[in-house]
Amino acid sequence: ELKVEQNPLFLSMQEGKNYTIYCNYSTTSDRLYWYRQDPGKSLESLFVLLSNGAVKQEGRLMASLDTKARLSTLHITAAVHDLSATYFCAVGRGSTLGRLYFGRGTQLTVWP
């Protein structure tokens, strides 16, 4: 079965700092998704990465995909408190969307 590992699982960082969350997966795939979840809330789509070398940016978040290394990163630039949430990566495989395999999530806390 496809395994998805995220690290770190917990991240506490100061406002203004930069950091990267890593997502490794075990089987070849060229589709990777990042979601954000606020406590007790639903999951919100952040990025869809569909090919090797794909890079997407939205505000202070930038996601990239290296399919050869089976690695995606979510880089946080100059963190602000509003970014505090849990971030999940998910991997798909096959020719249809189908089941997504989720990592355990990275719980990010940004403090002043």
Partner 1 sequence: DSGVTQTPKHLITATGQRVTLRCSPRSGDLSVYWYQQSLDQGLQFLIQYYNGEERAKGNILERFSAQQFPDLHSELNLSSLELGDSALYFCASSVPHGQGYGYTFGSGTRLTVV
Binding site for partner 1 (CB under 8 A): 31, 33, 35, 40-45, 48, 50, 88, 90, 92, 96-105
Nearer to partner 1, 31 or 79 (CB): 31
Query: To the nearest whole angstrom, how small is the minimum distance from the Cβ of residue 69 to partner 1?
Result: 21
Write out the H or E segment, with its range, that includes residue 68: none
Query: To the nearest whole angstrom, how small is the minimum distance from the Cβ of residue 41 to partner 1?
Result: 7
Query: To the nearest whole angstrom, how small is the minimum distance from the Cβ of residue 96 to partner 1?
Result: 7
> Please, which residues have CB within 8 angstroms of residue 92's CB and are 6 or more apart in sequence?
29, 31, 32, 33, 98, 99, 100, 101
Q: Is the peptide bond before 39 cis (omega within 30 degrees of 0)?
A: no
